[in-house]
Amino acid sequence: MHPRGTLRRRVALVVAALAALLGGCSRPGPAPGASAAVGALPKVRFKTDWYPQAEHGGFYQAVARGFYRESGIDVDIVPGGPGVPVSQIVLSGQVDLAMGRSDDMIAWVSKGLPFVVVGVYMERDPQAILVHEESPVRTFADLNNRTVMGVAGSNWIDYIKLHYHIDFRLIPSNFGIAQFMADKDFIQQCFVTNEPYFVRKNGGHPRTLLMSDSGFNPYRVIYTTQRYLREHPAEVRAFVAASLRGWDDFMNGDPSPAKALISKANENMPGEFMDYSIKALRDYHIVAGRADLGERPGLMTRRRMQEQVDDLLQLKLIPELLPVDKFVRFDFMPPDLQSGAH
């Protein structure tokens, strides 16, 4: 019966634990240092947070152009989707690494979850607030007493409310733009690389407020479990290095190999849309960051991580101060970035 089918999604969040438990009852991942067979590269499974899209481009580029193989690993990209509990899946051992956000990492490690950040692939978060061109909302403070559609439980919600001393009503995100198109006053969370394209395609005039401009400025990170890091440091190092190489090639070289791979994996991905996303990544300095602020692709700094910890502490989202070294390993970045880590 259909309600149970829908309910399975919600229950999946709970039962994912049990299912993952049963599925992952055997030791997670391959034995330390072992290869599947003589001559075969060690397999590394990497989970993304959505269907294949340009926002994952660097990873697909690295696969398509063989960068991972050159670094000595065979990478499987496992796409996520709406409602997919990525972090729980990492914890269960079904995948080895995944993409996430640094603010989530801080919150989870504060709870005692054994995650660790090993690299960043985007200097800035592409999250934004989407409004219509004519909307009176021009700054984050203007969100006061309004209704916003967003992903419930996200840290930015509490951050914005506290930082600007405002309050607003939150309705659950359905990851679409139907309501936005129907209502000129509608406000919702979006990716600056994504929703505006579709709004324009449907004849709308969107305007965005980039989240990182509000002071809430997380990294988009690559993370894994402490156990996997302990048992497969070589694979982790190789993965981070080759991924950053892939991102560099994707943003500055010819992105077609990645685009081809993404199209194959996701039939609903028009080339024109991917081009739009890539341009947005560039225009908003998402991947490379702002050079004038000392940001560089793949660079994570202690200072910025500390700022985020302080923010979350102030928001009371973490109970006490979390030392940066408890959730970040700076020594897995490529050597040329490590000096800039302070």
Select from 53-61, 89-97, 116-124, 321-329 the region that touches another protein (CB under 8 A): 89-97
Select from 101-109, 135-143, 209-217, 296-304 the region that touches another protein (CB under 8 A): 101-109
Report the C-alpha gap between 193 and 176 in whole angstroms: 14
Shortest Å, Cβ 85 to another protein: 6
Report the C-alpha gap between 66 and 69 in whole angstroms: 5
What x/- string results for residues 245 through 274 when contact with another protein is judged by CB under 8 A?
------------------------------
Shortest Å, Cβ 277 to another protein: 24
**Left, alpha or beta for 298 (phi > 0: left; psi -120 to 50: alpha)?**
left
Q: Does 81 bind another protein (CB under 8 A)?
A: no
Judged by CB under 8 A, which of 34, 39, 40, 112 binds another protein?
A: 112
Select from 5-13, 126-134, 215-223, 274-282 the region that touches another protein (CB under 8 A): 5-13
Q: Which of 208/224 has CB closer to another protein?
A: 224
The two tokens of residue 114 are 């054994």
Q: Does 184 bind another protein (CB under 8 A)?
A: no
Q: Please give the DSSP secondary-structure letter assigned to residue 328.
A: B
What x/- string results for residues 31 through 70 when contact with another protein is judged by CB under 8 A?
----------------------------------------
Amino acid at the residue 199: V
Q: Which of 91/309 has CB closer to another protein?
A: 91
| Residue-wise burial string across 241-253, b where 16 or more C-beta atoms lie within 10 A, e elsewhere | bbbbbbbbbbbee
Judged by CB under 8 A, which of 39, 111, 272, 342 binds another protein?
A: 111
Shortest Å, Cβ 25 to another protein: 8
Dihedral sign computed on CA atoms, order 3, 5, 9, 11: positive
Instruction: Characterize the bridge pairing of strands 147-150 and 169-172.
Output: parallel
| Residue-wise burial string across 88-116, b where 16 or more C-beta atoms lie within 10 A, e elsewhere | bbbbbbbbbbbbbbbbbbbbbbbeebebb
Q: Which residues, listed in sequence order, are joined to residue 208 by a DSSP beta bridge?
A: 130
Select from 70-78, 106-114, 242-250, 298-306 the region that touches another protein (CB under 8 A): 106-114
Select from 172-180, 200-208, 233-241, 285-293 the region that touches another protein (CB under 8 A): 172-180
Contact 303, 81 (CB under 8 A): no
CA distances from 339 to 47, 229, 319 (A): 29, 22, 31
Contact 107, 317 (CB under 8 A): yes
Contacts of residue 53, Cβ cutoff 8 Å, sequence gap at least 6: 194, 262, 266, 269, 274, 277
Q: Does 6 bind another protein (CB under 8 A)?
A: yes
Q: Which of 19/41 has CB closer to another protein?
A: 19
Q: Which of 21/260 has CB closer to another protein?
A: 21
Judged by CB under 8 A, which of 169, 230, 303, 326 binds another protein?
A: 169
Judged by CB under 8 A, which of 48, 61, 71, 154 binds another protein?
A: 154
Footprint (CB under 8 A) of another protein, residues 197-256: 225, 227
Q: Please give the DSSP secondary-structure letter assigned to residue 218.
A: P
Select from 46-54, 55-63, 104-112, 308-316 the region that touches another protein (CB under 8 A): 104-112
Cα angle, residue 118 at apex, residues 50 and 303 outer, rounded to 5°? 105
Among 342, 303, 330, which Cα is nearest to 117's? 330
Binding site for another protein (CB under 8 A): 2-7, 10-11, 13-14, 16-18, 20-21, 24, 28, 85, 87-88, 91-93, 104, 107-108, 111-114, 147, 151-154, 169-172, 174, 176, 178-179, 182, 225, 227
